[in-house]
Amino acid sequence: MEVVQVGNFEASYVPTVNDFSRLDERFRLPPGTWNKLPAYRSYGFAVFKLKSGAATIHPMAFSFPRAETSSLFFPTVHIHDGQVHPKAEFDHTLYCQSGADEEFALNRWTESERPANAFVAIGKTNGLVDGERHCYMRGLQGKLANLDTFLKRV
């Protein structure tokens, strides 16, 4: 499977758990790891790692069709050492926008003061960000439950 350069990251897409065996060894997990996460059998995966020697970490964004349309899905489960620990050290900032066709329960999110075009290079987002709408942010920091994050629709 192809590994591509995305800024300071090396990245690939893995369609199913079984396809990890075809992926470059740098991205593989120890045998049996996926047995601990049976709910992920039908998932696809964006995998990435910081390039060796890279000092600047930049945001990563991707979009994909959602199997579960009643919520927005953020893949935040951590598997760093081949183990699935009940808690993990988080240092993430999640961003989203709601659209005219779907609104989210944003009570724990901070709304931007201005529309996105005031602080985002909209032309570089390939249509992912609507410059006329506000953005929302939520920080996940500290030792937290090692779970994915879901933002429910209202």
- Give residue-wise pLDDT tens across range 123-137: 988 888 999 999 999
Both tokens of residue 94? 């999640």
Q: How confident is the model at residue 30 (pLDDT cuts 50, 70, 90)?
A: confident
Check: CB of residue 88 under 8 Å from CB of residue 146.
yes
Strands 136-145, 71-74: parallel, antiparallel or unpaired by DSSP? unpaired
Residues whose CB is less than 8 angstroms from the CB of residue 43 and which lie 6 or more positions away in sequence, other chains included: 16, 17
pLDDT at 90 over 90: yes
Contact 97, 136 (CB under 8 A): yes
User: In sequence order, which residues have a C-beta less than 8 Å from that of residue 123 and are 6 or more positions away?
Assistant: none
**Rounded average pLDDT over 13-31:** 86
Mean pLDDT (whole number) for 108-112: 95
Beta bridge partners of 151: 72
What pLDDT shows up at residue 117?
97
Q: Of the candidates 142, 113, 147, 117, which has an alpha carbon nearest to the alpha carbon of residue 129?
A: 117
Q: How far apart are alpha carbons 143 and 9 in whole angstroms?
A: 25
Q: How many helices (H) and strands (E) does the chain have?
A: 0, 8
Q: Residue 116 — pLDDT band, cuts 50, 70, 90?
A: very high
d(CA 135, CA 12): 27
Is the pLDDT at 60 greater than 90, yes or no? no
Residue 94: predicted pLDDT: 94
Which pLDDT belongs to residue 123?
92
pLDDT score, position 130 = 94
**Higher-confidence position of 29 and 115:** 115
The whole-model pTM stands at 0.81
Residue among 107, 88, 91 at smallest CA distance from 151: 107
Provide mean pLDDT across the span 42-68: 81
